[in-house]
Amino acid sequence: MQKADIADNAAVLQEVRWRYRICNYLFRAGAAWVFAGYALTFLAKQGRELAELGVALVVVGFGIFSAAFALTLAIYRCPVCDKYLSRFRPDKRKCSQCGTQVRETLTGRP
């Protein structure tokens, strides 16, 4: 029975890492689009079309960022009890509701 618990714990940790990776990727992609849009807006002093393209990139970036936030609320949950894994929970290694280990260390990524 001990080996099954270890396998289940590894599967839970892998699932949380996968969800964290998806959310982190989307936040970074949104930030990159916003940065590219602002950079293009500031570099395009003469061309009106480039400035408008920069504003469009910023809007797309904030759209991706908003979608990442909504997806984080939807999927960054405990795989066992489906409670949202808030970054402000007291013990970051365990789920606050069911006590399942969802992180190996207290600092860094899950």
pLDDT of residue 7: 56
pTM of the model: 0.76
What digits encode the pLDDT tens for the residues 35-55? 999 988 888 777 788 888 889
- C-alpha 90/C-alpha 46 separation (Å) is 52
| Residue of 102, 87, 75 whose CA lies nearest to 10 | 102
Tokens standing for residue 79: 């795989």
What digits encode the pLDDT tens for the residues 68-98? 999 988 888 888 888 888 877 788 788 888 8
64-91 burial, b for 16+ CB within 10 Å, e for fewer?
bbeebeeebeeebbbbeeeeebeeeeee
- C-alpha 76/C-alpha 56 separation (Å) is 29
